[in-house]
């Protein structure tokens, strides 16, 4: 057994300080106390504050290799999401399994360095570069799980049903690696993904549709009706104005309108982006108890738009955060982008507020942690609990802004006044994965990543 002594740990009811937390050989919490644990032979004193690790609820790992490379523009008003997508397709057609694993391991190690301890990997790079299925249908998914295991990150693998090139359109040549032609093909892919996850205790699976434009709508209904309950289901929806226009032309309804009218949407659903909504659609999502996964840095980078967060929250709506294309990886920065966007359009400063949680940092972190866990298939709402893996970000108690703050000000100080320099490191399964800003396997991970990037030649 190992015991950590922190200056404080965050609990659902506030700070426990001082705090002692003991873990077993598997990194599961055995005791939490504000008094010294007796008879411990392995005590590590940490001059820091521990908060639960974040869940990254939307990731396309392979896109990390192109972060920053889609910023050369042909002229004014000539670049948008659809132009960016062509650059993404070029990369998607280039990576082999070894290269994908190397890119994912580098990305995942950086996620952990920034404070993420679990990721929902929205995975649609299924087949070989020529579009042929691998002998193991879960080959590419297995590389993502292997990358997560290598760096100590937990992963929810979301094998994506991708079938169409648009509403009523066949897929185009650039999408050949993504395609499952029928629901039976998708079920086989999902089962292969389940098998992949069995070898890593930190892995599980969720269902996913690329989008309504990417799957035959009758097959969307079929999978929603056939699926196992209590497993999360993720879907891109209402991200782009053109997507909405095409949906209306094809179905007579907007995307969220069609979804909530056509299938039984509930709290298993995690709607990614959901940027462009009518008031009726906002209300329908909230009423269904579905969650929204917002990706502030990517949505800003792509020029998607701003999610109607204030209205959604007023109706009891719940949300989490993803980093999508990984142009940003700092969880506190994602929250700031989200908050400040809302302040700019509302001219109000109380984006993160409820009657129960009036401190902005407290509200935002609580919302994200609980909703993020649901996106991973975990309904546990207690921040740290006996029998749970000890996964935490540790903040430097000696940092000037932190050392001078009262406990009631700490979370908003972390959120609004600091950067990653404040973090002492990240612990997953009771072990330091990142300490003093460096991942314990950084040299190996970087070596493989640099070789893969040189082979692909993208940068």
Looking at the DSSP bridge assignments, the partners of residue 161 are 209
Kindly list the catalytic residues. Answer: 273, 324
Q: How far apart are the first and last CA of the chain?
A: 45
Locus of tokens 């050369």 = 72
Contacts of 381 (CB under 8 A, 6+ apart): 12, 370, 373
């Amino acid at each position: 057994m190992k015991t950590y002594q922190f200056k404080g740990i965050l609990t659902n009811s506030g700070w426990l300080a001082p705090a002692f937390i003991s873990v077993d050989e598997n990194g599961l919490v055995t005791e939490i106390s504000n008094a010294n644990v007796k008879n411990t032979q392995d005590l590590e004193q940490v001059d820091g504050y521990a908060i639960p690790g974040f869940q990254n609820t939307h990731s396309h790992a392979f896109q990390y290799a192109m972060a920053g490379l889609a910023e050369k523009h042909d002229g004014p008003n000539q670049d948008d999401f659809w132009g960016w997508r062509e650059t993404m397709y070029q990369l998607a057609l280039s990576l082999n399994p070894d290269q994908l694993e190397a890119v994912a391991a580098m990305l995942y190690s950086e996620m952990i360095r920034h404070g993420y301890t679990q990721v929902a990997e929205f995975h649609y790079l299924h087949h070989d570069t020529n579009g042929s299925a691998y002998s193991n249908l879960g080959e590419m998914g297995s590389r993502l799980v292997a990358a997560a295991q290598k760096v100590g990150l937990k992963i929810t693998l979301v094998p994506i049903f991708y079938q169409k090139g648009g509403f009523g359109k066949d897929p185009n040549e650039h999408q050949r690696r993504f395609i499952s032609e029928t629901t039976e093909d998708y079920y086989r892919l999902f089962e292969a993904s389940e098998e992949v996850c069995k070898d890593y205790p930190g892995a599980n699976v969720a269902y996913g549709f690329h989008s309504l434009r990417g799957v035959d709508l009758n097959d969307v209904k079929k999978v929603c009706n056939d699926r196992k309950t209590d497993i999360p289901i993720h879907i891109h929806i209402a991200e782009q104005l053109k997507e909405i226009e095409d949906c209306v032309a094809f179905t007579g309804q907007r995307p969220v309108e069609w979804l909530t009218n056509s299938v039984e949407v509930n709290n298993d659903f995690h709607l990614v982006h959901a940027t462009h909504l009518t008031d009726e659609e906002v209300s329908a999502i909230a009423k269904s108890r579905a969650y929204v996964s917002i990706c502030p840095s990517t949505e800003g980078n792509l020029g998607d738009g701003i999610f109607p967060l204030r209205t959604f929250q007023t109706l009891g709506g719940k949300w989490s955060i993803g980093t999508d294309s990984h142009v940003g990886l700092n969880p506190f920065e994602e929250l700031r982008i989200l908050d400040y966007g809302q302040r700019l359009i509302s001219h109000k400063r109380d984006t993160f507020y409820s009657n129960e949680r009036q401190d902005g940092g407290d509200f935002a972190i609580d919302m994200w942690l609980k909703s993020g866990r649901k996106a991973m298939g975990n309904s546990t709402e207690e921040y740290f609990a006996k029998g749970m893996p000890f996964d935490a970000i540790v903040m430097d108690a000696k940092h000037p802004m932190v050392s001078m703050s009262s406990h009631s000000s700490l979370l908003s100080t972390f959120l609004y006044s600091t950067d990653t320099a404040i973090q002492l490191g990240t612990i997953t399964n009771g072990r330091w994965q990142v300490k003093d800003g460096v991942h314990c396997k950084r040299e190996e991970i970087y070596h493989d990543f640099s070789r893969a990037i040189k082979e692909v030649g993208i940068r």
